[in-house]
Amino acid sequence: MVNRQMNRIVGACLAAVIISCACAKPTHDVPHYVECVDSSDCAKDECCTIGLGRFTIPVCSKRLDLDEHCGSVREPFNTSVFYPDGSAVDLTNVYVHFCPCQSHLSCPSSTQKCTDPMDKSYFNYIDDTGDDNYLNRDDY
């Protein structure tokens, strides 16, 4: 009776070990504080961003919404980051500070704002500000 119970407990423990091994990510050496190593690690409406600081930690950030300023968004790139604990992490398809617009939006250079290409009013957009420096204006 006691033996049978023991067997059951041991069996449950073995199953737990096997399951946790099967679920472990194949990527090794990625420290727990690193949220993403590629933008595909993030949710659909997010991307992986890093800062320019020495020990910057990649995080998932929201992609930009309609009408948000997207002129400062740079192309995705690959890089490696290093941490004081000796970890080195290879990153792919990450952005500096800002994600691009949500995937169904574009960033026309004329407005530098996330725009819905399906929105017909965009095609009738008229720049009537009369300001020659319009494109260089700092909107922040």
Q: Which residues bind ligand NAG (CB under 6 A)?
A: 77-78, 92
C-alpha triplet 57, 62, 63: angle, nearest 5° = 115
Closest CB 37 distance from ligand NAG, rounded Å: 11
Nearer to ligand NAG, 39 or 115 (CB): 39
Query: Shortest Cβ contact with ligand NAG: which residue?
Result: 78
Nearer to ligand NAG, 7 or 78 (CB): 78
**3-class DSSP assignment, residue 98:** coil
Which of 99, 98, 101 shows the shortest CA–CA distance to 116?
101
Nearer to ligand NAG, 78 or 110 (CB): 78
Contacts of 30 (CB under 8 A, 6+ apart): 37, 87, 89
Closest CB 41 distance from ligand NAG, rounded Å: 14
Closest CB 77 distance from ligand NAG, rounded Å: 5
| First-residue to last-residue Cα distance in the chain | 73
